Structure 1
Amino acid sequence: MRPGIKLFVGNVPEEATAEELSELFSGVAGPVLGIALMKQFAFVHLRDEAAAARAITQLNGHQLHGRRIVVEPSRPRPTNTCKIFVGNVSAACTSGELRSLFQQYGTVVECDVVKGFPFSQRVFFLWEFTK
């Protein structure tokens, strides 16, 4: 586990690189201890709470390759949960409708609808389950 404070960065454009994110965050918050970049999100490790607060204040909503990134504290996933992805969801569908649909299969702890993708939306569910 890396030391420091971990931030979640969402809505990351696919053309963004770890080096680019490192430069962006270090320019605002000081040294970046590490970056884990996935396709459309990243985790950025900063030195302390003050650095994290500066990054959130100054970079949340920042335009990167034409997309507004989301910068917020990373929240650990609750125990006994799993996260799944559902794609190609109609733009007319609401998170409440999706929650109702999937609730029959287990408790939906979280349902995030991510907009801004061509022709579809992406939905991330956090399910609670028992072992």
Structure 2
Amino acid sequence: MNIFIGSLPYSVKDSDLQGFFEEYGEVSSARVITDKFSGRSKGYGFVEMQDEAAAKKAIEELNGAELEGRTIVVNQAHERTENSGRERRSYNSQRGGNGQRRGGYNQNHENRRNENTEE
């Protein structure tokens, strides 16, 4: 069973997470999610446990527990769907616009206004 852990202290590493959950059973994997550019923790992670009963007990007992001074959130992870989370938009998406990014000050507008008043 895959378990989601949220509100993690930024100092927690994969090995810390694994050790925290091993009290409840064998941990197949433990991963703290990090920013791909900075490498800094995003404050959440996932633990995979093979034994479903052990995983449920860990969820029940650790949800709301304190880890390094923070109250963590522990739930069963949901499978990611293709469009889960934020929808990524391209400039040519069907959500409006024509793919061009325009804006700012238009000097031609000022010139046209001056031409119209000179008559």
TM over 0.5: yes
In structure 2, list runs of 5 or more residues that go unmatched.
34-40, 88-94, 96-119
Aligned residues: 80
In structure 1, list runs of 5 or more residues that go unmatched.
85-104, 106-131
Shift of the 24–78 alpha-carbon distance from structure 1 to 2, 3 Å rule, reads: same
Distance 1:46 1:81 in 2: 23
Structure number with higher relative contact order (C-alpha < 8 Å, ≥ 6 residues apart)? 2
Letter in 1 for 2:79: P
RMSD: 1.7
Q: Check if 1:6 corresponds to 2:2.
A: yes
2:77 to 59, 74, 77: 74
Could you give the per-residue CA deviations for residues 66-125 of structure 1, whole angstroms, max 9, x where no partner exists? 1111110001233334437xxxxxxxxxxxxxxxxxxxx7xxxxxxxxxxxxxxxxxxxx
Would you tell me which structure has more strand in proportion to its own residues?
1
Query: Which structure has the greater CA radius of gyration?
Result: 2
Distance 1:24 1:80 in 2: 32
Letter in 2 for 1:53: K
